[in-house]
Amino acid sequence: EAGVAQSPRYKIIEKRQSVAFWCNPISGHATLYWYQQILGQGPKLLIQFQNNGVVDDSQLPKDRFSAERLKGVDSTLKIQPAKLEDSAVYLCASSSESFSPLHFGNGTRLTVT
Amino acid sequence: DAKTTQPPSMDCAEGRAANLPCNHSTISGNEYVYWYRQIHSQGPQYIIHGLKNNETNEMASLIITEDRKSSTLILPHATLRDTAVYYCITSTSGSRLTFGEGTQLTVNP
């Protein structure tokens, strides 16, 4: 079974620039999550999708972050404009249903200078 | 989800059992205990979960106290590849996980 794929692996941008991350979940997984992990902290949920609908985006900074999951498969997370405090690893995860374990990708490490 | 408390770090000798404690004294009756680990530069990896009964799989064992206020993750024969941050999380559904800072387990040769 192929795992959760994320790209790019690393990204360096200047503040006020925009950036996008891509995630391809495990085939057949209906639920997709984006997490932000700041260095030294545990991952923090940003948004949860069920198929192509948003289930929970309460912790997504909507003034600068946006996410979509077209056709209920791939997903993109965008930041515009980026701030220094957005420097973090952005993790994508998927699961087949409630109570099923989450499968994480290896993340995109974003550095904002 | 109940707040969990874990020691920030632990050491274990290679080949010995690693016992990682977690306190979740405010856990509610329908909350499961989940354990994930995160090896450096990788995403978190699911290990095991349970509600009341002790659980065992190919990776680890989970011991939950009778009052469910605490639990212990046991890696029976730790190897160097088990060096990671271990997260104990409570959840009613296994989704929308709230990660704390976890325990950094270092397995020494």
Rounded Cα distance between B54 and B95, Å, is 21
Phi then psi dihedrals of residue B16, to 5 deg = -95, 165
What is the model's pLDDT at position B2? 77
- Please check whether residue B92 is in contact with residue B85, taking contact to mean a CB–CB distance below 8 angstroms: no
Of B80, B106, B108, B94, nearest in space to B35 by CA: B94
Residues A61-90 pLDDT 10s: 999 999 999 888 999 999 999 999 999 999
Mean pLDDT of chain B: 95
Rounded Cα distance between B62 and B19, Å, is 10
Residue A77 distance to chain B (closest CA, Å): 17
B94 contact residues in A (CB cutoff 8 A): 95, 98-102
Q: How many CA atoms lie within 13 A of A113 on its CB side?
A: 4
pLDDT-based confidence at A99, cuts 50/70/90? confident
CB contact under 8 Å between A99 and B94, yes or no, is yes
Rounded Cα distance between B109 and B94, Å, is 34
CA A64 to chain centre: 14
CB contact under 8 Å between A41 and B46, yes or no, is no
CB contact under 8 Å between B100 and A42, yes or no, is yes
pLDDT-based confidence at A2, cuts 50/70/90? confident
Share of chain B above pLDDT 90, in %: 89
pLDDT-based confidence at B46, cuts 50/70/90? very high
What's A100's DSSP letter?
S
Rounded Cα distance between B23 and B15, Å, is 26
State the CB neighbour count (10 A cutoff) for residue B15.
11
Instruction: Return the residue of A nearest to B33 by Cα.
Output: A99
Question: In B, what residues contact A, Cβ < 8 A?
Answer: 32, 36, 41-46, 49, 87, 93-102
Instruction: Give the one of B41, B97, B100 whose C-beta lies nearest to A102's C-beta.
Output: B97
Instruction: Give the one of A45, A91, A95 whose C-beta lies nearest to B43's C-beta.
Output: A91
Residues B12-33 pLDDT 10s: 999 999 999 999 999 999 999 9
What is the model's pLDDT at position A72? 84
Burial track B24-38 (b if 16+ CB lie within 10 A, e otherwise): beebeeebbbbbbbb
